[in-house]
């Protein structure tokens, strides 16, 4: 079950959040001190952070900024009584994923948590390292490892694979691939896309003639299945 870090200095609020989250089955780690957050994120590896803005000492905005600067991508939901637009904008621009103003209903909070966890854990395109069947894909290095062999991924192969995984489960047209990847710099033909797909299958699929992950959607384009 997902682990949630709750950062809240009001004892009653902290207890309320902890109890409700625990009742929902989440594992809860808590602190009331903004200075503790980064250490806890590093050691506890939570799946989501509920972050009160008005903390003593380092406030929630600063905590969020530092986490993002340090490279953490954990979903952050800010909680606060400060509901002015400028505060909302500030929190979201600092890198928060959602901004919930008090008072809020527990059901709404839980629904927003679920929405954030749904995105944070389920989308495969968010990461540069992928496991696709037996293949380990490193999009950063442009490399696939499968069955004891290492295959290089060219620039365009990487881009195509990335777009398909970002849109896992949904058909992507060749026109979209051409538009999003080649843009207005070049105008290759559909055949170019097809060739790259064949090459990707050869590198990734256990049996390229019977692909399991990189599927053709006849008359539409291609689809990625995780």
- Under the rule (CB under 7 A), what is the footprint of DNA? 152, 154-157, 174, 182, 186-192, 194-198, 201, 208-209, 216-221
Q: Which does 189 bind (CB under 5 to 8 A by kind): a second copy, DNA, none?
A: DNA
Instruction: Yes or no: say if 222 and 214 are a contact pair by the CB < 8 Å rule.
Output: yes
Q: Cα separation of 215 and 162, whole Å?
A: 15
145 binds a second copy (CB under 8 A): no
Smallest distance from DNA to CB 130, Å:
18
Instruction: Yes or no: say if 164 and 185 are a contact pair by the CB < 8 Å rule.
Output: no
Q: Site map for a second copy, 26-65, x if CB under 8 A?
A: ----------------x--x--------------------
Instruction: Yes or no: say if 51 and 7 are a contact pair by the CB < 8 Å rule.
Output: yes
Q: Cα separation of 125 and 153, whole Å?
A: 16
Smallest distance from DNA to CB 223, Å:
11
Please enumerate in sequence order all residues whose Cβ is within 8 A of that of 66, keeping only pairs 6 or more positions apart, or say none: 38
142 binds a second copy (CB under 8 A): yes
Smallest distance from a second copy to CB 93, Å:
6
User: Contact region for a second copy (CB under 8 A) — 17-25, 54-62, 88-96, 199-207?
Assistant: 88-96
Alpha carbons within 13 A on the beta-carbon side of 46: 27
Q: Cα separation of 59 and 33, whole Å?
A: 9
The number of beta carbons lying within 10 Å of the beta carbon of residue 88 is 17
For binding to a second copy (CB under 8 A), which residues are involved? Answer: 42, 45, 69-75, 85-86, 88-89, 92-93, 95-98, 105, 107-108, 110-112, 114-115, 118-121, 123, 125-128, 139-142, 152, 155, 159, 166-173, 176, 180
């Amino acid at each position: 079950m997902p682990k949630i870090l709750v950062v809240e200095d009001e004892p009653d609020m902290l207890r309320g959040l902890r109890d409700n989250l625990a009742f929902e089955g989440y594992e809860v780690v808590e602190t009331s001190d903004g200075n503790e957050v980064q250490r806890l994120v590093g050691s506890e590896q939570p799946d989501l952070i509920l972050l009160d803005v008005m903390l003593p000492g380092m406030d929630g905005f600063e905590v969020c900024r530092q986490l993002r600067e340090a490279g953490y991508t954990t979903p952050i939901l800010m909680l606060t009584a400060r509901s002015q637009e400028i505060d909302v904008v500030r929190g979201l621009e600092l890198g928060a994923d959602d901004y919930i103003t008090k008072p809020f209903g527990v059901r709404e909070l839980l629904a927003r948590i679920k929405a954030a966890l749904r995105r944070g854990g389920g989308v495969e395109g968010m990461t540069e390292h992928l496991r696709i069947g037996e293949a380990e894909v490193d999009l950063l290095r442009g490399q696939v490892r499968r069955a004891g062999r290492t295959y290089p991924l060219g620039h365009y192969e990487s881009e195509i694979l990335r777009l398909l995984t970002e849109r896992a489960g949904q058909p992507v047209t060749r026109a979209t691939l051409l538009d999003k990847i080649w843009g207005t710099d070049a105008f290759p033909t559909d055949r170019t896309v097809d060739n790259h797909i064949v090459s990707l299958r050869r590198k990734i699929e256990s049996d390229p003639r019977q692909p399991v992950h990189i599927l053709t959607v006849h008359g539409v384009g291609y689809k990625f299945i995780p």
